[in-house]
Amino acid sequence: MEILKNGSIPQGQAETVEEQVKLVVHGFVQVWNKFEETIAREMAAHPDFKKSARESHFGANNDILFRVGTVLNSSPGLTMGELSSALSVPLSTATRIVDSLVDHGYLERFSDSEDRRVVRVRLTHKGNKVYKFIDARIAEHVAELASNLSRDEMATLMKLLGKVAFAAKQTLK
């Protein structure tokens, strides 16, 4: 079911501001799902990723690799606890995610140079390549979407999204 039609919420579908916000959030989830589907198709068609996409059913894990890659790209070599915290998932879930990504060659574990008991994780060359491909494709698709907005609309959107992100950070601890 499409929540947003023609850039607006269908009349009578949401009476309160809270209901409207909920529908917009659902709309963003639908957009993200479309991003994932599109990126999975693009990866499957790309000569560098055809085999990976076919062997590992990687399309279903784009979101996971993108989330982990985003964290590790800005803070390489995190411990499992740090990664768990950055992803806002329990340590056991972070471990399962890392295990799967290590098994497929996208991440690697390594010992801390100062304390060999500490295990850290980082993107492999293959993982970094896939992460950068996904990131670039998302940037291209977002640019296409943004081209539908005027400069003033884009400025307003960025200001409002910044406020929402700040509020979420404050309230969703």
User: Tens of pLDDT along 127-162?
Assistant: 999 999 989 988 998 888 889 999 999 899 889 888
Do the beta carbons of residue 59 and residue 74 sit within 8 Å?
no
pLDDT at 72 over 90: yes
Indicate whether 106 belongs to any domain.
Answer: yes
Indicate whether 76 belongs to any domain.
Answer: yes
**Vertex 101 angle, CA 97 and 114, to 5°:** 85
Indicate whether 49 belongs to any domain.
Answer: no
| pLDDT score for 28 | 78
> CA-based diameter of the chain, in Å?
61
If one counts the domains in the chain, the total is 1
Structure tokens that stand for 30 in this block? 């639908």
Kindly report the backbone phi and psi dihedral angles of residue 121, in degrees, each rounded to the nearest multiple of 5, phi listed first. Answer: -130, 150
User: The domain spanning residue 85 has which CATH number?
Assistant: 1.10.10.10
| pLDDT score for 167 | 84
End-to-end CA distance of the chain: 31
3-class secondary-structure state, position 137: helix
Select from 56, 3, 9, 10 the least CA-distant residue to 32: 3
User: What is the rounded CA–CA span in Å between residue 51 and residue 58?
Assistant: 10
Q: Which domain holds residue 63?
A: 58-171
Indicate whether 7 belongs to any domain.
Answer: no
User: What is the rounded CA–CA span in Å between residue 128 and residue 26?
Assistant: 30
Indicate whether 18 belongs to any domain.
Answer: no
Partners of residue 121 on adjacent β-strands: 78, 109
Structure tokens that stand for 50 in this block? 């055809």
pTM, entire model: 0.76
Q: What is the dihedral of CA 156, 142, 107, 169, to 10 degrees?
A: 20
Indicate whether 114 belongs to any domain.
Answer: yes
Across the chain, mean pLDDT equals 83
